[in-house]
Amino acid sequence: MGFDQYHEPPGELPAATRTFARMCASLTEEAEAIGWYQQRLAVETDPEASAIMRDAQGEEFKHFSMALEFLLRRTPVWREIARGVLFRDGDIVERGEDAETATTSDAGSEGPAFGPDGSGSLGIGGLRGAER
Amino acid sequence: MNHLLRRHAPITDSGWRLIDDEAVARCTPALAARRVVDFSGPHGWEHSATNLGRTTALASAPSEGVSALQRRVLPLVELRADFSVSVGELRDHDRGALDPDLADLDAAAYRIAVAENAAVVHGWSDAAIAGIAEASPHEGPALADTVDAYPSPVAGAVELLLRQGIAGPYGLLLGREEYTRVIESAEHGGYPLLDHLHKILGGPIVWAPGVNGGVVLSLRGGDFLFEAGQDLAVGYERHDSDAVHLYLQESFSFVIATREAAVSLRPPARVTQRSRTPRSRQGDRRA
């Protein structure tokens, strides 16, 4: 197996960014699994098999939600945009555009990325196993 | 904009990238404690205390017929190291200068790393943080005055931990002077001392400015927890026509779960003794 979640050389990435990339990869995998179960349930005719797959899909909903919440907690800008979109009524695209405008217009000149997690931190994190 | 107020600084995106990159480059080599303890977080600037899972009985209750307990927590501490960057140097950097003078930032990065190391290893009584070395119940041996004899106390510390049922691998934090003596030495002019110590430990030998003597500790995990609120970040204080005044800041707590999982190695007798801080009570989950 490779380390496909890294787009840049892992040795050059801060520990916090490596963790962030791992959780993004997990989020993707959980979303894929949810989609696969949805397709299997659509064609399965055995009720007992369907019940098992529905239960399994529920697990994937939980995993996806936990991974998403982790990422949002570590990424304040993402969290703010999500706050304007998730669990709200109305037009989804409109909500998204409004949330993006409201969030990013206030994040101008604080540095290029304002820290790897959006909090302004330098992203050094834990250094167990890191080379000096 | 958050509490760091970076948007108020007269610094371009390129200037911020320069400052942040330099801060990471200068802090990382000196942050020794983070190389050997568990790290949790960052939990954000608003995170104010670490849960200890302990309670204190209250003498009174609001009314009759009930009892009361109060939760105990370990408040996070904030460390801050101020520095300045010349406006002229920042403008020259924007023009493409390759050698900006960031000496004040470099010194601040070293100071805050030393403070973090010292708090974790030797404790910080005013902040109720118990240090690894001071909290250890083991009577650790002293490092020898002759560097050839270093393997003996390190091997003794490892054997002591094994006897306590504390599994490895083990790491070794060494103060500046002790580390220098190790890396410059070969035993009897042959095998490098650094390699010999590494074979004894199975883990890293870490240059640890701010540490007095040395500490051997288990790296199995679960014994020592560094909890970050705001991880190290650069914030803005003020500026004038000559300089931008900034600071490096972090908030953290440190908790020891297994005080037996480390052995302190006293510095050689000829090395000046650092004042030892009293052991703390609240920072140790088993206290």
**pLDDT given at position A97:** 86
**pLDDT given at position A118:** 60
Which sequence spans correspond to the domains of chain A? 15-74, 76-107
DSSP B105: H
**pLDDT given at position A15:** 85
**pLDDT given at position A110:** 63
**A126/B16 Cβ within 8 A:** no
Is B205 or A109 the better-scoring residue by pLDDT? B205
Summarised one tens digit per residue, pLDDT across range B215-248 is: 999 999 999 999 999 999 999 999 999 999 999 9
Q: Which residues contact A19 (CB under 8 A, 6 or more apart)?
A: A125
Distance CA B211, CA B70 (A): 35
Q: What tokens does B174 get?
A: 């060494």
Show the low-confidence residues of chain B (pLDDT under 70).
187-189, 270-287
Taking the CA of residue A105 and the nearest CA in chain B, the distance in Å comes to: 10
DSSP E strands, B149-228: 170-174, 202-207, 214-218, 224-228
Helices (H) and strands (E) in chain B, counts: 7, 11
CB pairs under 8 A between A and B: 95
Q: Are B52 and B285 in contact (CB under 8 A)?
A: yes
Taking the CA of residue A124 and the nearest CA in chain B, the distance in Å comes to: 7
**pLDDT given at position A104:** 66
The model's pTM is 0.73
**pLDDT given at position B96:** 94
Summarised one tens digit per residue, pLDDT across range A49-82 is: 999 999 999 999 999 999 999 999 888 788 888 9
**For chain B, which domains are there?**
6-58+68-265 (3.30.2400.30)
**A123/B4 Cβ within 8 A:** no
Cα-based distances in Å from B228 to A28, B84, B161, B233, B251: 28, 25, 28, 12, 6
Q: What tokens does B40 get?
A: 């949790």
Q: Are B119 and B41 in contact (CB under 8 A)?
A: no
Distance CA B249, CA B76 (A): 13
Q: Which residues contact A59 (CB under 8 A, 6 or more apart)?
A: none
Question: Rounded mean pLDDT of A102-112?
Answer: 56
Of B12, B231, B235, the CB nearest to A124: B231
Q: Long-range contacts made by residues B94-98, C-beta under 8 angstroms, separation at least 24?
A: B94/B12, B94/B14, B94/B15
Cα-based distances in Å from B76 to B73, B79, B176, B229: 9, 10, 27, 7
Q: What tokens does B116 get?
A: 């973090």
Whether A11 contacts chain B with CB within 8 A? no
Dihedral, CA of residue B247, residue B249, residue B112 and residue B24, to nearest 10: -80
Q: Are B258 and B166 in contact (CB under 8 A)?
A: yes
DSSP states of chain A? ---TT-SS-GGGS-HHHHHHHHHHHHHHHHHHHHHHHHHHHHH---HHHHHHHHHHHHHHHHHHHHHHHHHHHH-HHHHHHHHHHTT--S-HHHHHHHHHHHHHTT--SS-SSSSTTSSSB------TT---
Contacts of A18 in chain B (CB under 8 A): none
Name the pairing type of β-strands B243-256 and B77-86.
antiparallel
Contacts of B231 in chain A (CB under 8 A): 16, 119, 121-125
**pLDDT given at position B193:** 85
Summarised one tens digit per residue, pLDDT across range B183-212 is: 887 766 677 888 889 999 999 999 999 999
What residue of A is the nearest CA neighbor of B113? Answer: A124
